[in-house]
Each structure stands twice: as structure tokens, then as C-alpha cells.
Structure 1
Amino acid sequence: MEWIDQLEPCFRGPYTGSFGTLHDNGDLHLNLIIRSMLILNGRCYTQAGGGIVVNSTPEYEYQENHTKAQALLDLLK
């Protein structure tokens, strides 16, 4: 996390964590946060990412992340 703080231009906020709900009956529903949007002090921050698998290519992963981030930005229009 220290490297991320040094290398990235802004903080990650809730990105790449786990978010979920714990219900009275003991059920636990969790999701991984691979897309997020945070509006803070009049500024909007978006993050997008994905999972790397055996047949991933850098070009495809870059385009997929761009597409995910653009979908978040399109919500603001």
C-alpha cells in the first residue's frame, strides 16, 4: 500500500476492497469492488480494474479497464 500511495496520483478510496452485508440469519453477501465512483468535496473519482487470468493480454486488459471507467463517467452525463 505504501508503493501505491507513492506511485498513484490520487487515493484509491473504496477501490479493490470487499463490500457486503451480514444478515440477521447469518447470511453474508460479499462483492469485490473493481469499479467505483466517489464524489468528495465537489470532485469525482473513478477507479476500474479487473482480474488477470492465464490468457489475459495487456492490450485487452487496458481496453477493458478503459471501457469500465468510461461507463462510470457516462453516468454523469
Structure 2
Amino acid sequence: GGVIAYMDFHGNLDSCIAIRTALIKDGRAYVQAGAGIVADSVPELEEAETVNKAAAVIRAINLAHQMRDI
């Protein structure tokens, strides 16, 4: 996870939390996923959520790769 943001010279600002991201470089995909940890979070459930989020990104990459080959 992380943040994606921009600010321009007119004072405009926008940002969002990047819970699922992928960088594709030189034919390799680097996938990251995060979760919102709060006081009553259950570590095992947060881990499972993060794994599921990353898996969704990987599925999307695989689907795009398959469609490219059609």
C-alpha cells in the first residue's frame, strides 16, 4: 500500500490510498497490497485480506496477458 497524490501550481491537491498496486517493468510484475489496520483488527484476517487483494491484481495481469495473445 501507499499513497498516490498530486499537487499543482494552482493549489489543487488530490490523493488516494493505494491499497492494490502493480508495477510492470521489463516483463516482470511487482505487486503490492495493503490493509487498513485498526485497534480491533485480527492479524490473521488482515493477512488473508491482503493476500486476496494481491491475488486479484495477479489475476487481472494474467487475464490481460491472455487477452493480448488472442
Normalising to structure 2: TM-score of the pair?
0.73
Equivalent residue, structure 2, for 1:43: 28
Q: 1:65 aligns with which of 46, 50, 61?
A: 50
SS in 2 for 1:75: helix
Bigger Rg, which one: 2
1:28 aligns with 2:18: no
Q: Which amino acid aligns with 1:35?
A: R
Deviations 1:7-34 (A, max 9, x none): xxxxxxxx52x22222464221111222
Which 4+ runs in 1 deviate beyond 2 A? 21-27
Task: Kindly indicate whether structure 1 or structure 2 has the higher relative contact order, using CA contacts under 8 Å at least 6 residues apart.
Answer: 2
Q: Is 1:19–2:4 an aligned residue pair? A: yes
Q: Tell me the amino acid that sits aligned with residue 31 of structure 1.
A: C
More strand by share: 2
Q: Superposition RMSD on alpha carbons, in Å?
A: 1.7
Q: In the alignment, residue 49 of structure 1 is paired with which amino acid?
A: G
Percent of aligned pairs with the same amino acid: 37
TM-score normalised by the chain length of structure 1: 0.67
Q: Check if 1:53 corresponds to 2:38.
A: yes
What runs of 5+ residues in structure 2 fail to find an aligned partner? 64-70
Q: Which amino acid counterpart does residue 58 of structure 1 have in structure 2?
A: P
